[in-house]
Amino acid sequence: MTERLVVIGGDATGMAAASQARRRRAAGELEIVAFERGRHVSYSACGIPYWIAGDTDGPDSLVARTAAEHRKNDIDLRLGTEAVAIDAERGRVLSRDTDGREEWTGYDQLVIATGAVPVRPPIPGVEAAGVHGVQTLDDGEAVLKGLDREGVRRAVVVGGGYIGVEMAEAMLRHGLDVTLVDGAEQPMSTLDPDMGRLVRDALEGLGVRVVSGSPVTAVLTDDGGRARAVATDDEEFPADIVVLGLGVRPNTALAADAGLPLGSHGGLLTDRAMRVRGRETVWAGGDCVEVLNLVSGTLQHIALGTHANKHGRIIGVNIGGGYATFPGVVGTAVSKVCDVEIARTGLKESQARAAGLQYVTAVIESTSRAGYYPEAAVMTVKMLAERGTGRLLGVQIVGREGAAKRVDIAAVALTAGMTVDQMIELDLGYAPPFSPVWDPILVAARKAAGEVAERAGRR
Ligand SMILES: Cc1cc2nc3c(=O)[nH]c(=O)nc-3n(C[C@H](O)[C@H](O)[C@H](O)COP(=O)(O)OP(=O)(O)OC[C@H]3O[C@@H](n4cnc5c(N)ncnc54)[C@H](O)[C@@H]3O)c2cc1C
């Protein structure tokens, strides 16, 4: 008998799951229906800031696989169709199309891949014209249209996370005066404040005015209802365009209404096979789930395309009759603002403390190439290691070309559970155009190992 798979959400996780399941099970065996409420499918939200900045084309080039390609692959993809209820007891989904037509569709297997919703603070004016989120390709088009308006000179970016700093760059590239207003102590609160300070310095060096520790209290509008300024308790910042980059939360209202289990961060809870806990035929992945942090041993909500694509593949393999699991994450992320690269993996200090871990820190400055080689650029590496055991706990890097992807060495070391002593012995490649003879990661590991030994002496 033909089984039916219903997928809710047509981006990274949902369509990866659908495509992988289709690869393993033919249409006669598995019917696949995918609901996507938007106009686009399998698109890269990650590319939106670079499209707006003018580095890449868009929106078509940000679509990895078109609706037509999915349909050719025997996936019944329904764009402009929102899933509005899940009846998990009877195994069916209620959908509504753009004409308001509603329909129940039964499923044998269900994939929930609804992603995340951008945080919009409940402040006056936040829905005004001229205030933009950057979640979808439609948002990208709206920002570009906003930038095309006559007399646009000043941009205010609200939020100093990676989307905020990437959008600050995009606004700079359009020649605007940019102010970044953030409630946190420093931009990039996924880093420790001392490393966030370096990002702040870099932003200011690029001409961005950075206002930290100041939550936005209102978006002020003109007589026509268009945003004209962003206000904090202390100041008003004139704006011809406002971009929100305040992070996201799991989009799980539908799942919650269906009685599916959510964790303390609001994400769906799954097992390692990405099956929703306690539900044999319901799967979930991507930005709508919580993931295990392998370093802290706690569940976290980390909205990243890397995980979303892996989750989708794993779900598709399992629905397709194979076996795959997702062990967890170490919390690796990279970003940039103009030529300044930012990277992190593992735990920052506050996360280590929250996990009850004692640690030492090492901060070093080194260069991306041999010091005498042209264009050797300074980078700062911060490393955390567990007191006593010397186990690597986390790494943060801020620097220029060649800085960010060095964090992958640390991600591998974290995954392998290496100590900083073991890291020193890693046989990393060296030639003057690529690194100093001691790679910055090894220099940091040496310093961290020294700190661990010193603390052990004082035990
Ligand atoms: C500006 C920006 C930059 C980013 N940059 C990076 C980066 O550099 N690196 C990185 O790793 N990650 C990055 N990300 C994060 C990455 O894009 C997401 O983690 C990834 O897209 C998550 O995939 P997903 O399938 O879980 O969710 P989404 O991509 O959010 O897809 C969910 C889909 O479900 C649809 N949907 C939701 N509810 C319903 C419903 N009820 N019915 C029907 N359809 C529904 C939505 O319309 C959406 O298309 C970035 C995100 C943004 C916004």
Both structure tokens of 327 = 């062990």
Query: For residue 393, what are the contacts with CB-CB under 8 A and spacing of at least 6?
Result: 295, 346, 347, 352, 357, 359, 384, 385, 386, 414
| Interatomic CA distance for residues 109 and 206, integer angstroms | 50
Of the pLDDT bands very low, low, confident and very high (cuts 50, 70, 90), residue 456 is: confident
| Interatomic CA distance for residues 232 and 247, integer angstroms | 19
C-alpha 287 – ligand 1 centre gap (Å): 7
Task: Read off the pLDDT of each residue in 120-126 and give the average, rounded to a whole number.
Answer: 94
Of the pLDDT bands very low, low, confident and very high (cuts 50, 70, 90), residue 459 is: low
C-alpha 366 – ligand 1 centre gap (Å): 36
Task: Indicate which atom in ligand 1 lies nearest the CA of residue 43.
Answer: 29
Going by alpha carbons, the residue nearest to atom 27 of ligand 1 is 115
Strands 378-386 and 75-79 turn out to be unpaired
| Interatomic CA distance for residues 152 and 226, integer angstroms | 13
| Interatomic CA distance for residues 153 and 140, integer angstroms | 18
Going by alpha carbons, the residue nearest to atom 7 of ligand 1 is 46
C-alpha 44 – ligand 1 centre gap (Å): 8
Going by alpha carbons, the residue nearest to atom 6 of ligand 1 is 46
Going by alpha carbons, the residue nearest to atom 35 of ligand 1 is 9
Question: Is residue 21 within 8 Å of 319, Cβ to Cβ?
Answer: yes
- Sheet containing 109-112: which strands, arranged edge to edge? 75-79, 30-36, 3-8, 109-112, 282-284
Q: Give, for ligand 1, the residue of 114, 143, 301, 344 to mutate: max count of ligand atoms closer than 8 Å to Cβ.
A: 114
Q: Give, for ligand 1, the residue of 6, 7, 36, 136 to mutate: max count of ligand atoms closer than 8 Å to Cβ.
A: 36
pLDDT of residue 1: 84
Residues with CB under 6 A from ligand 1: 8-14, 35-38, 45-46, 48-49, 82-83, 113-116, 134-135, 163, 251, 254, 286-287, 303-306, 308
Both structure tokens of 203 = 């932003």
State pLDDT tens for residues 271-293: 999 999 999 999 999 999 999 99
Question: Is residue 153 within 8 Å of 325, Cβ to Cβ?
Answer: no
Task: Indicate which atom in ligand 1 lies nearest the CA of residue 254.
Answer: 41
Going by alpha carbons, the residue nearest to atom 26 of ligand 1 is 286
Question: Is residue 255 within 8 Å of 263, Cβ to Cβ?
Answer: no
CATH class of this structure's domain 131-246: alpha beta
C-alpha 27 – ligand 1 centre gap (Å): 27
Task: Read off the pLDDT of each residue in 185-192 and give the average, rounded to a whole number.
Answer: 96
C-alpha 30 – ligand 1 centre gap (Å): 26
Going by alpha carbons, the residue nearest to atom 4 of ligand 1 is 46
Q: Rounded to an integer, what is the distance from CA 329 to the centroid of its chain?
A: 13
Give the pTM: 0.96
| Interatomic CA distance for residues 249 and 120, integer angstroms | 10
Counting beta carbons within 10 angstroms of the beta carbon of residue 99, is it exposed (0 to 12), middle (13 to 18) or buried (19 or more)? exposed
Give percent of the chain above pLDDT 90: 98
Query: Given this chain, do its domains 3-116+249-319 and 131-246 carry the same CATH topology?
Result: yes
pLDDT of residue 173: 97
| Interatomic CA distance for residues 308 and 71, integer angstroms | 22
Q: Give, for ligand 1, the residue of 287, 329, 330 to mutate: max count of ligand atoms closer than 8 Å to Cβ.
A: 287
In this model, does residue 458 exceed pLDDT 90? Answer: no
Question: Is residue 318 within 8 Å of 274, Cβ to Cβ?
Answer: yes
C-alpha 40 – ligand 1 centre gap (Å): 11
| Residues with catalytic function | 46
Hey, what CATH topology would domain 333-457 get? FAD/NAD(P)-binding domain (3.50.50)
In this model, does residue 346 exceed pLDDT 90? Answer: yes
C-alpha 45 – ligand 1 centre gap (Å): 6
C-alpha 377 – ligand 1 centre gap (Å): 34
Domain map of the chain by residue range? 3-116+249-319, 131-246, 333-457
| Interatomic CA distance for residues 189 and 204, integer angstroms | 17
Question: Is residue 176 within 8 Å of 155, Cβ to Cβ?
Answer: yes
State pLDDT tens for residues 379-420: 999 999 999 999 999 999 999 999 999 999 999 999 999 999
**Where do the H-state alpha helices sit in 320-369?**
349-354
Going by alpha carbons, the residue nearest to atom 34 of ligand 1 is 9
Q: Give, for ligand 1, the residue of 304, 309, 407 to mutate: max count of ligand atoms closer than 8 Å to Cβ.
A: 304
Bridge partners for 359 per DSSP: 386
| Interatomic CA distance for residues 74 and 72, integer angstroms | 5
State pLDDT tens for residues 37-91: 999 999 999 999 999 999 999 999 999 999 999 999 999 999 999 999 999 999 9
Task: Indicate which atom in ligand 1 lies nearest the CA of residue 335.
Answer: 8
Place of tokens 């650029």: 377
| Interatomic CA distance for residues 223 and 214, integer angstroms | 26
CATH number corresponding to 3-116+249-319: 3.50.50.60
State pLDDT tens for residues 219-239: 999 999 999 999 999 999 999
27 phi/psi in degrees, rounded to 5: -60, -35
